[in-house]
Amino acid sequence: MSSLAHGIPDSTPAIGTSVSADDFKRAFRGHPGGIAVITAYGENGPVALTASSVSSVSADPPLLIFSVSALSSATPTIIAADTIVVHLLDAEDISLARAGATSGLDRFADTSTWSRLATGEPVYHGVRAWLRCKVVSRMDAGGSTVIAAQALQVDVERDLEPGEAGAALVYYNRSWHRLGEHSLLD
């Protein structure tokens, strides 16, 4: 048995062994994820998908990560893009979150809800916040691709003061939820 840096025994299972997909899903079902919509522009036009895997990694430089499933029709365009837009949503943006999560829907049919930035990426209007990002790394991970991106531009429409409850939109136990004052713990 080897030791890690702090003297903790290494109990990592041997490569090739793992928990079942059902057990893994069951564990994460109780772990909420914030909701974002990722957009990109490719040779066939704009694409969008809803993700609950967006996380900030570093403030300096401003980096974030997210993953996209190989099952999404938007994934090839997002993987190939040099730049993308990450829309961070709150409960007011639930219709956009649902649209990005619905297969076969034309997410850009209503041209009043989005436009292209001067740099070409599609951006939805009126969301809580969006970040235009340069993709800096891609990593295959099972049936998904993990993407690291550096924020180049940000627009915050509905800002929050530190400690303010807001109305965060999260995905938890296979359903949408609004965090707010009622969910605040001291």
Provide DSSP, 103-121.
TT--TTS-TTSEEE-TTS-
Q: Is residue 9 part of a domain?
A: no
| Bridge partners, 155 (sequence order) | 130
Distance CA 41, CA 158 (A): 25
Run of H or E residues at 26: helix 21-29
Tens digits of residue pLDDT in 22-40 = 888 888 887 878 899 999 9
Q: What pLDDT is attached to residue 99?
A: 92
Q: Which domain holds residue 106?
A: 32-158+165-181
What is this structure's pTM? 0.86
Tens digits of residue pLDDT in 105-144 = 899 999 999 999 999 999 999 999 999 999 999 999 988 9
In this prediction, residue 13 has a pLDDT band, given cuts at 50, 70 and 90, of low
Q: What pLDDT is attached to residue 112?
A: 93
Q: Is residue 85 part of a domain?
A: yes
| Bridge partners, 151 (sequence order) | 133
Q: Is residue 1 part of a domain?
A: no
Listed in sequence order, the residues at least 6 apart from 163 whose beta carbon sits closer than 8 Å to its beta carbon are: none
Q: What pLDDT is attached to residue 181?
A: 80
Q: What pLDDT is attached to residue 1?
A: 40
Q: Is residue 17 part of a domain?
A: no
Distance CA 24, CA 18 (A): 9
Q: 138 and 145 in contact (C-beta within 8 Å)?
A: yes
Distance CA 67, CA 75 (A): 10
Average pLDDT over residues 176-180: 86
Q: Is residue 16 part of a domain?
A: no
- Residue 172: give its domain's CATH number: 2.30.110.10
Write phi, then psi, for 183 (nearest 5 degrees). Answer: -100, 0
Q: How many domains does the chain have?
A: 1
Q: Is residue 22 part of a domain?
A: no
